[in-house]
Amino acid sequence: MKIFKKYFLLFTLALSFGFLSGCYENEVDNIEICDGSKFKVSYSAFIFGNITEYTYYISAPSGKKTFDESVTLKYRIESTPNSNTTLEIPAGTKSPVQFHSYQSINGNRPVDITIATEECPQETKKAEEDIINENENPDCPDQISLQIQSCEDIINLRWTSNLENTTELSIYGQNLTITNEGGVTLNKSEIDLTDSEPSLSTTDICLYTIEKTCSGTSGSLTISETIEGGQELNIKVTDADLNMDESVVETVSVQVVSAQGEKETVALTETSINSNEFSGSLSTILGAESGTNNDNVLTIENGMSITVTYQDEKDGNEEAVSLEKTVIASGAVAPKNYSVIYAGTTYYLESDSYLVFNIDEPYSVYFSIDNGQNSFFLTLEIYHQGTQLTSGTYTVAGQNQGVNAETSGVNVGDDPNNYKAFTGGSVKVTTQEDGYLLEMNLEEGNNTLVGSYFVKTEGQ
């Protein structure tokens, strides 16, 4: 606290010569709001000879270490017109919070203290006569109250005064014109941090300062440096602001978006109680087209960008910022020539991942096709007249010229028990010089399988 620093030498001398009268703390009152919560208002007093420094605090209800909900504190300075001050205390702020400080030689106490919360928006006023009256509080016709809030990268200066004319305030190498009410934000990289003692161009004005620090902390976001389709995308957020309860493991959500526009929300879990670190992962599959949003699986392929976003609601400068990290997928490129949609999901088929068997009496061709990853299999047996399969449309369960329902079906995953036989639909076959183009519109119970695939027979 600046006032304490200013009088540190005086404090030392007072100890040596017996001028230090004492140091004590007094409770002003417990201010009760509509839900029964009571906020203790107190002050501490340091006595240096004939100078007393008073610092006022507000404490969270029930002796809690942090404020469970956001609190709006309002007050004014006794005998100072236009000195209304509002302090917003965000939820999660450590208790107690300093809200006013002054010296008996140049300041006045806070009065008309009111407290409001989201649940109790009606301000509760503390009767002025109930606030303890310090004896040493001389009149000062011209006063300036300066609030100095130090954050991670910036310093916020806010002031109120009862001056009829402007005056100049010098601090951090800056000359500021003081009006009745105003403020300025200074970047720490652009000011002289060693010049932290405020001074006025006019000597007959009473100046007292209130020092604060930003309650927020800047979070960090890290993700996997490399990723391929089929691997997990690992995500970690570190942010002390998220550790609202030191006794339990908590969670936070991040947003993941692919270049194709697919969106996934990923819940990260605190690595341990009171660790401030939150981690989680997202599964991926190989594919060229956008998958289904928020199905806990992201479809990616080589060259596709994946962006993870964490919304830091209050960073070290008490500002809301978005943290983003992007990784470019490597590994395989998903086959784009042939695909089928089965039960609402797109499966890409490897162009050379199939087997063909010709069967006599009755004549048929048996196709076994998969996606090259042992996770999707498709079988078709098509009966035909004559020794060669000819172009035409072949229906499921056709008589000696159709798709055999007993040997034609689909299997998702590597478990053969997942095999489902086709129950209806058809396959259009177009014979070409080097193979067959299969255009499928098949039924499996309430599901459909639609897509095309080319089976090359020349040179096989």
Could you tell me which CATH number the domain at 220-328 has? 2.60.40
| pLDDT recorded at residue 45 | 77
pLDDT at 401: 74
Angstrom distance (rounded) from CA 391 to CA 72: 78
**3-state SS string over the chain?**
CHHHHHCHHHHHHHHHHCCCCEEEEEEEEEEECCCCCEEEEEEEEEEECCEEEEEEEEECHHHCCECCCCEEEEEEECCCCCCCEEEEECCCCECCEEEEEEECCCCCCEEEEEEEECCCCCCEECCHHHCCCCCCCCCCCCEEEEEEEECCCEEEEEEEECCCCCEEEEECCEEEEECCEEEEEEEHHHCCCCCCCCEECCCCCEEEEEEEECCCCCCEEEECCCCECCCEEEEEEECHHHCCCCCCCCEEEEEEEECCCCEEEEEEEECCCCCCEEEEEEEEEECCCCCCCCCCEEEECCCCEEEEEEEECCCCCCCCEEEEEEEECECCCCCCCCEEEECCEEEECCCCCEEEEEECCCCEEEEEEECCCCCEEEEEEEECCCCCCCCEEEEECCCCCCECCCCCEEEECCCHHHCEECCEEEEEEEEECCEEEEEEEEEECCEEEEEEEEEECCCC
| Model pLDDT, residue 399 | 64
Cα dihedral 305, 325, 238, 264 sign:
negative
Compute CA 246 distance to the chain's CA centroid, rounded to the nearest angstrom.
19
The pLDDT value given to residue 6: 41
Q: What is the structure's pLDDT at 437?
A: 87
Instruction: Cite the residue boundaries of each domain of the chain with CATH code 2.60.40.
Output: 220-328
Q: What is the mean pLDDT of each run of 10 residues along the chain (460 residues)?
A: 41 42 66 84 75 85 88 82 83 91 71 85 45 39 86 91 88 91 93 92 82 86 94 95 87 95 96 93 87 92 94 89 95 73 83 75 83 83 86 83 89 89 93 87 93 74
Checking 216-219 for CB contacts under 8 A at 24+ apart, the result is 216/90, 216/151, 216/241, 216/314, 216/315, 216/316, 216/317, 216/318, 216/319, 217/152, 217/241, 217/315, 217/316, 218/152, 218/312, 218/315, 218/316, 218/317, 219/310, 219/312, 219/315, 219/323
Q: Indicate yes or no: pTM above 0.75.
A: no
Contact criterion met (CB below 8 Å) for 76 and 88: no
